[in-house]
Amino acid sequence: MDLFKLNGDVALVTGAGSGIGQAIAIGLAEAGADVACFGHASKGGLDETAHRITALGRKALALTGTVTSQSDLAAAIDRVESELGALTVAVNNAGIAGPTGGVDEIDPSDWRRCIDICLTGQFLCARRAVPLIKAAGGGSIVSMSSAAGRHGYAFRTPYSAAKFGVIGFTQSLAKELGPHAIRVNAILPGIIEGPRIEGVISARAKQVGISHEEMTGRYLQNISLRRMTSPYDVASMVAFLLSDAGINISGQSLGVDGNVETL
């Protein structure tokens, strides 16, 4: 038996059109799962993700919607069950960076949007997916937190608050769903390579009046391994947790961040 395979699993990955979500969706397909790729239509990339999955010989769906919409999630998850089969895996990956600014500068509407997408969206997805995973006889949920869910993050309070919330949600759900043979864990990525962190670094550099390059150096100085995290670093950990190799891991918040010492 290959402990690291996902043969027969059907997975839903939110935010699967780019970055971490795309890497996770493709990684799960490489491990043997069929994958439903859910994401916002304006972001694009879902069709590319689905095409790369089918090229691996697995089934794929590209499903557009937003995690803050109960109707979008209901329609998507209904299609997963009817077209791919019994849902056994949900990966709550969708999220946004949120605003950068002091607490007295952040617009309440930007605060609410960040919390809605990064935290409430995970609740809404789980709320719809859990009955199907129970009916399948068990499975696994992985939710994306962040190093910002372990460390306070000045000038990024909405994001950090949401990611701390994901850890509480994960631990509570693990206790609730354990008797149903459903494992629930959170991943805490660090500074992920890609456009999102470049935007965050630029905004922070502008705020404190230094160059983008100098701010990048400050970020890396706080990481023990002195490197950013790639989406594939995260995808590998997710695949491990979902496989039989992670059969007794639940309720955990696992850093994949090169050991972020502080933010």
Active-site residues, by number, are 159
Q: Beta strand 182-189 with 139-144: parallel, antiparallel or unpaired?
A: parallel
Which residues are bridge partners to 163 per DSSP? none
End-to-end CA, the chain: 41
**CB-side exposure of 48: number of CA atoms within 13 Å?**
11
Strand order in the sheet with 89-92: 60-64, 34-39, 10-14, 89-92, 139-144, 182-189, 253-256
Which residues are bridge partners to 142 per DSSP? 91, 185
